[in-house]
Copies of this chain bind each other. A is one copy, B any other.
Amino acid sequence: MGVADNTELAALRAQQHTTRRATVAAMEHILYTPYPLLDHGFIRVIDYMGDDSAIVQAARVSYGSGTKKASTDAALIQYLMRHWHSTPFEMCELKLHVKLPIFVARQWIRHRTANVNEYSARYSTLDKEFYIPAPEQLAVQSASNRQGRGNILAPDENARVIALLKADAEHVYKSYTDMLNQDENGEPLDPSKDGLARELARMNLTLNYYTQWYWKIDLHNLFHFVRLRADSHAQYEIRVYADVLLDILQKWVPTAFAAFKEYRLGGVQLSATAWQIIKKQLAGETITEATSGLGKREWSELQALLNA
């Protein structure tokens, strides 16, 4: 487990085939090479299908000669994105190899419209690799947001937490290998006895241990994943993965990605009431929280959008 070693990676990267399929030079460039993430994690692209043209090609099948004369490819992709015509984006597919802490994997897997092959700790022993946050990521519980973080922990408390996390992860791994009757090289500690079944021993590991999987998803669902997970409300530890995906998307389908930024990432959604407020303000009316008809939280969210 862990990143394929340098020899294997070099072999994969050295292969050169000839193909008639849609090919993206920037993706070929990063193929098989891990983007390092957190302290032991990574994302690397294993395969991709399609490019910006593949989106257009599928859309033109749907709309037939109706779109032929029309417009440039970029204009068509913008139109599709603006009007939530999602199926042409489903015609592109991405396959990744991802290494990530188990508690991150548990958030990630909630997205059901993907294919997954995860490392099985029933079949094989997990490596001794666990996530310890960098000090600047150790934040107190937010007082205003039940699922968020507040300020960074004070330095001494910060150091204490890191020491606790490390010590506990080391400790449970020792018990894990102990119960398995294995030393660090996978050899029996005591050749005269049997170890506990792997499917049982694994339950003693903490949720910051790393797992890994192959994950395959179409472009439409990848955009959806990234929109939720690159959001500022997402937990930092999954957001860093989403940020790498943004970079990959930019390389893979630059035109679709630009439309995604314009209409999704950078766009705004307003409620019926909020939109009425905007229209009144444009007409010269003065609206206050009290006269807005919005609750306190929605009012401040709207102000935040206006001041962003």
Residue positions of A touching B, CB distance < 8 A:
1, 12-13, 15-23, 28, 31-32, 46-50, 54, 57-59, 61-67, 75, 82, 84, 87-88, 90-91, 93, 95, 97, 101-103, 106, 109-110, 112-113, 115-120, 122-125, 131, 133, 137-142, 146-151, 153-154, 157, 161, 164-165, 168-169, 171-172, 175, 178-180, 193-200, 202-208, 212-214, 216, 218, 228, 235, 261-263, 265-275, 278-279, 281-282, 295, 298, 305-306
Please tell me if the beta carbons of B203 and A204 are within 8 angstroms of each other in the complex.
no
In the assembled complex, the CB of A109 is this many whole angstroms from the nearest CB of chain B, namely 6
Across the interface, A204 reaches (CB within 8 A) one of B28, B197, B206, namely: B206
In the assembled complex, the CB of A296 is this many whole angstroms from the nearest CB of chain B, namely 11
CB of A14 to closest CB in B, whole Å: 8
Q: Contact at A54–B47, with CB atoms within 8 Å?
A: yes
**A175-B168 contact, Cβ under 8 Å, with A31-B21, A147-B199:** yes
Once the chains bind, are A208 and B204 in contact (CB under 8 Å)?
Answer: yes
Of B95, B106, B207, B269, which contacts A269 at CB under 8 A? B269
- Which chain B residue lies CB-closest to A18? B16
Q: Tell me how many chains of this kind the complex includes.
A: 4
Given contacts A141-B198, A165-B204, A199-B235, 14 further A-B contacts (CB under 8 A): A18-B23, A20-B28, A21-B31, A22-B47, A47-B54, A65-B124, A140-B196, A141-B195, A141-B196, A147-B199, A157-B193, A171-B171, A266-B271, A281-B282
> What are 21 sample pairs from A and B whose C-beta atoms fall under 8 A apart?
A20-B28, A22-B47, A47-B54, A48-B49, A61-B213, A63-B123, A63-B124, A64-B119, A82-B298, A87-B116, A91-B95, A102-B207, A122-B147, A141-B196, A150-B197, A157-B193, A165-B203, A168-B175, A199-B235, A275-B305, A279-B306
Across-interface contacts of A20 in B (CB, < 8 A):
12-13, 15-17, 28, 31-32
Residues of B within 8 A of A95 (CB): 49-50, 91
